[in-house]
């Protein structure tokens, strides 16, 4: 045990009670703020500020009929008692309620009210996020399709923390600063993406022309602009074709496409022999890929680089021999007007599917010259590059914060001298 730190069970620190059950359908914008367990799962912050968050749903109910144990005070911790996976079993938020607003804890929640003053209220926002605490939640979680902890088992979970409130506050302040920086980057990225979306609406429809370009835009069928290639039937790989090492070729799947780009580093690798069986779908820089089947149909990506040789799996098609500027073509496929054609055409029930013949018939509106197409693509790709830089900073900031939590919440790094 670290000098100056102690270990106690959550049962020694808190009293536990349940929330007031109400379905999502019963919630509206009238009544009293209501904390649904789904909102805890969706939260990206370690706290919920009922005094400043207008997005919290409400329950129209006589507040006198709600038990005081289900009303949330400043500093209360609210855990979920149901999750679709073990990782979510430890999800929680700490309540900020300095205004003492009647705030109802809801369906599938466990309310933890402090019965000692051992833990600083801001420190509570971070101290349950350690690997040691999460592993205990996983240990006690029960269930098959839905897992969770109970009020009786959650009290058995042990937590280590500094006895000094001053040290607790110093740790919380450092981690809060990291959270604020992360939140700032997230807001900036969201703003940049909104600006880019607005630019696409203007530039990809011809509503706004770049300086030096004129002439009527043309409507073309996809078949006039590119050729489509994909795997036919079961020409795709089987489990026996997959290799564990980075040899052979990457086989892209829909999960590799993130925000219009390809993440090559979480790919499946297939054997050279299987790879060479379909030379027409060997990817090249400048190709554009499209998901044609499954829950993520319509996702697209422009291939701007290839770290290894690559192909596609049967859920995808690739556009080659593109006669327009290929980057511009990629932006058009990701644009709302093309995506609307996909959504209006898609067939299938549980597994929606788009045929290559259907894609060939889709209409794209393009500028009369490749030069204007390339200029538009350059503007949009510059915006993407700026977003990519900010996204890299965000990922780095998140990793740094995780490292800070690992060191500060274990006592390996001390912010306060004993």
The 10s digit of each residue's pLDDT in 60-85 is 999 999 999 999 999 999 999 888 88
The residue with tokens 């036919």 is 232
Position 239 scores a pLDDT of 53
Position 234 scores a pLDDT of 38
**In the structure encoding, which two tokens stand for residue 297, read together?**
């149909």
pLDDT in tens, 37-49: 999 999 989 999 9
Domains and CATH numbers, the chain: 5-163 (3.90.220.20), 168-212+369-418 (1.10.287.1120), 218-366 (3.90.220.20)
C-alpha span between 171 and 47 (Å, rounded): 16
**Dihedral sign (CA 316, 321, 323, 326):** positive
DSSP bridge partners of 366: 218
DSSP bridge partners of 301: 289
In terms of residues, how long is the chain?
A: 418
pLDDT in tens, 205-244: 999 999 999 999 999 999 999 999 986 543 445 555 555 5
Q: Find, among 347, 399, 417, the residue nearest to 167 by Cα.
A: 417
**In the structure encoding, which two tokens stand for residue 226, read together?**
């590119």
**In the structure encoding, which two tokens stand for residue 102, read together?**
């009647």
Position 156 scores a pLDDT of 95
Position 53 scores a pLDDT of 92
C-alpha span between 338 and 292 (Å, rounded): 13
Question: pLDDT-based confidence at 1, cuts 50/70/90?
Answer: confident
The mean pLDDT of 329-333, rounded to a whole number, is 94
**In the structure encoding, which two tokens stand for residue 323, read together?**
């006669």
**pTM: predicted TM-score of the whole model, two decimal places:** 0.82
**In the structure encoding, which two tokens stand for residue 357, read together?**
């013949």
């Amino acid at each position: 045990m670290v000098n100056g730190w102690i270990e106690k069970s959550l049962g020694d620190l808190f009293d536990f009670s349940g929330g007031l059950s109400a379905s999502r359908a019963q919630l509206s914008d009238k009544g009293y703020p209501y904390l649904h367990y789904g909102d805890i799962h969706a939260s990206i912050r370690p706290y919920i500020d009922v005094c400043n968050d207008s997005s919290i749903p409400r329950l129209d109910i006589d507040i006198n009929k709600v038990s005081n144990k289900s009303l949330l005070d400043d500093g209360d911790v609210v855990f979920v008692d149901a999750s679709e996976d073990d990782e979510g079993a430890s999800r929680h938020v700490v309540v900020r309620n300095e205004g003492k607003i009647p705030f109802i804890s809801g369906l599938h929640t466990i309310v933890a009210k402090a019965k000692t003053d051992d833990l600083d209220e801001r420190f509570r926002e971070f101290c349950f996020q350690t690997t040691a605490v999460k592993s205990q939640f996983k240990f006690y979680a029960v269930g098959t399709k839905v897992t969770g902890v109970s009020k009786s088992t959650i009290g058995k979970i042990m937590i280590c923390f500094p006895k000094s409130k001053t040290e607790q506050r110093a740790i919380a302040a450092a981690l809060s600063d990291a959270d604020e920086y992360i939140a700032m980057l997230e807001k900036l990225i969201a703003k940049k993406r909104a600006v880019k979306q607005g630019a696409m609406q203007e530039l990809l429809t011809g509503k706004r022309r770049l300086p030096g370009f004129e002439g009527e835009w043309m409507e073309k069928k996809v078949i006039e602009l590119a050729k489509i290639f994909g795997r036919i039937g079961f020409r795709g790989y089987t489990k026996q074709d997959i290799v564990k090492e980075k040899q052979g070729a990457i086989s892209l799947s829909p999960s590799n496409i993130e925000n219009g780009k390809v993440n090559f580093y979480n790919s499946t690798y297939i054997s050279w022999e299987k790879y060479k069986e379909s030379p027409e779908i060997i990817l090249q820089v400048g190709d554009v890929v499209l998901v044609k089947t499954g829950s993520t149909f319509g996702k697209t990506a422009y291939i701007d680089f290839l770290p290894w040789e690559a192909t596609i799996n049967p859920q995808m098609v690739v556009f080659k021999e593109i006669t327009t500027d290929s980057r511009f073509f990629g932006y058009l496929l990701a644009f709302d007007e093309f995506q609307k054609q996909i959504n209006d055409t898609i067939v299938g029930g549980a597994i929606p599917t788009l045929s290559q013949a259907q894609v060939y018939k889709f209409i794209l509106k393009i500028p009369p010259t490749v030069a204007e197409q390339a200029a538009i693509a350059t503007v949009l790709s510059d915006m993407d590059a700026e977003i990519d830089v900010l996204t890299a900073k965000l990922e780095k900031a998140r990793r740094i914060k995780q490292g800070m939590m690992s060191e500060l919440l274990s006592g390996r790094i001390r912010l306060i001298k004993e």
